[in-house]
Chain A
């Protein structure tokens, strides 16, 4: 496998049609449509006048007013985002380091064990990790007297690591060493070579990993349910409680707001990035 040099424009043109696979475009669009249909339904029903999340009656913004006035929902959404951000940052940084260690150095003894340990949170159903983590944290709390949201954040960070690690490692494995070696040949320090060569090339892997970690943390129910302390109700926990007593479109409204905010954030990030590149 050799690293392709940046292709001249002409060759890229000639090649574009070779890259295309018949039916793949249709499949991609099918994927997107399938992914967005539930989202569309969710958003549409957040504007429904009815208490039901099922039957459409009339357009209304009532549920937004109610959701924004509902301290429980608002706090839960904020807690969710806060914990997810923290877990994402920790797990992505740590997973990137681990991925570099397992791909950018030569094979070593115990490599299999290291993979095993990193992916361990994936291999055991959440409920078991949750019960066991709960016992462990209770013990630590009793011994040290330290309480707070840190426990929940670390628990999230732990199960986010394998999700962040996988795409980063996959990216590193398909990247060859040529560029870094060239940099080393030009007397760049390893740190410099890393910052200027490896990290930018690794970018898409890190972004994928971070996004996965964020999503996984945002969706977690079971571990959070058991590990969370006072004032640490996340949105999924709130919703789970609501399901039993009957869900209302307030929850649709909050979800729509979350989607809108994340779209806004990412679009903003996109433009900032483009501006900086110029």
Chain B
């Protein structure tokens, strides 16, 4: 019993000690897990004499649920494109005016007037990439640039396919294969999508986010995936090739933004400016393996990134499709399809 009491005492002392550690000069960053270069964080800490706390989340929606409840204590978040729009609409982001900051001149003009934050009053580019699929060219040596490989696979790929466990990514790919528009509320077209997905499902082995393991372990030979993940997977399985399907593929961008009511607003602004420095943006790219949208960062980037097929799109590839958030009726329909599919 005495030991228990002592243990209890020690635990509560620890608890208080850690909450008392909230000193001045802090910055609380909430980013996707394993997506931040810690060397870059160290550099920021040294340059501005600020202590950074870094935590990770695993989906835009989990982050939103938490931020919506309020008082998270975080300053910086890194939402995806559509989520930036949602969060601005819900009044969850601080209008920090990155477009008036010193380093804003480095932002590639292509990424300034984006639909999720026109003129960049709230956010700046962090990383951007595409969602398509990658396939082992020794297993299948035909033309890989078509979504037919996922929805009507050749014999050698049947049962050797991993799809992302993501409602939007799977349904959007189906819509593209059938030539229908995204955020589609047309019931007949969606019924066709459901039939397509149901017919293709027996050929899929798994539906999982852990695409790199699935590919490198040899569980599957084709996986729907993000371009940076495809590059990481290729490092371990050289015969993988990332596809740019002619029917189209998703483009996305994660953006650095400041939460409304951020406890360390000034440090957050410093961080936004810091992240627009080409050298710092390149540090992130070298770690996460995606492009960053900051001009001049190329000269600090790893050699192999500059020539990789996953990063440098071929001339004849279609433009990536940045999908806007869908209205609730459409989400409800998607949800029905998804539930049916996975029933």
Contacts and interface: CB of A to CB of B under 8 A. Distances in A.
A131 B65 CA distance: 8
Contacts of A138: 69-71
A3 interface: no
Contact of B74 (A71, A89, A199, A230): A230
A32 B217 CA distance: 27
B156 interface: no
Interface string B7-51: 110011011101100100000101011110010000000000000
B71 A149 contact: no
A158 interface: no
A181 interface: no
Nearest to A93: B4
B57 interface: yes
Given A226-B65, A237-B55, A238-B56, A147 B216 contact: no
A54 B210 contact: no
A72 B38 contact: yes
Nearest to A71: B38
B209 interface: yes
- Choose among B1, B28, B58, B216 the residue with the greatest number of A CB atoms under 10 Å from its CB: B58
Given A135-B69, A138-B70, A241 B56 contact: yes
Q: How large is the interface on A (under 10, 10 to 19, 20 to 34, 35 or more residues)?
A: 35 or more
A144 B83 CA distance: 30
A72 B29 CA distance: 12
Contacts of A171: none
Nearest to B30: A230
A52 to B, nearest CB: 6
A244 B232 CA distance: 12
B58 A241 contact: yes
B33 A142 contact: no
A149 B15 contact: yes
A85 B12 CA distance: 10
A149 B19 contact: yes
Nearest to B217: A54
Given A54-B213, A231-B28, A246-B213, A134 B65 contact: yes
A242 B34 contact: yes
A101 interface: no
Given A89-B11, A228-B55, A244 B32 contact: yes
In the A-B complex, the 8 residue pairs with the closest CB atoms:
A241-B33, A148-B19, A241-B56, A230-B28, A246-B212, A231-B53, A138-B69, A86-B11
Contacts of B217: 52, 54-55
A82 B213 contact: no
A93 B4 CA distance: 8
Contact of A134 (B28, B34, B69): B69
A70 B74 CA distance: 22
B288 A54 contact: no
B291 interface: no
Contact of A141 (B8, B15, B54, B71): B71
A54 B210 CA distance: 13
B236 interface: yes
A241 B280 CA distance: 22
A229 B34 CA distance: 18
A263 B1 CA distance: 22
A51 to B, nearest CB: 7
12 contacts: A55-B216, A70-B38, A72-B38, A72-B54, A82-B14, A90-B8, A93-B4, A225-B57, A230-B73, A230-B74, A237-B55, A245-B33
A141 B14 CA distance: 21
Given A148-B22, A232-B55, 13 more contacts: A54-B217, A134-B69, A141-B70, A149-B15, A225-B57, A225-B58, A229-B73, A230-B53, A240-B56, A241-B34, A245-B33, A246-B212, A247-B213
Given A138-B70, A142-B70, A195-B1, A86 B14 contact: yes
Interface in A85-115: 85-86, 89-90, 92-93
B229 interface: yes
Interface in A160-210: 195, 199
A53 B73 contact: no
Contacts of A93: 4, 8
B239 interface: no
A233 B210 contact: no
A85 B11 contact: yes
Contacts of B342: none
A116 interface: no
B8 A225 contact: no
Contacts of B288: 245
B72 interface: yes
A153 interface: yes
B73 to A, nearest CB: 5
A243 interface: yes
Interface in A213-240: 225-226, 228-233, 237-238, 240
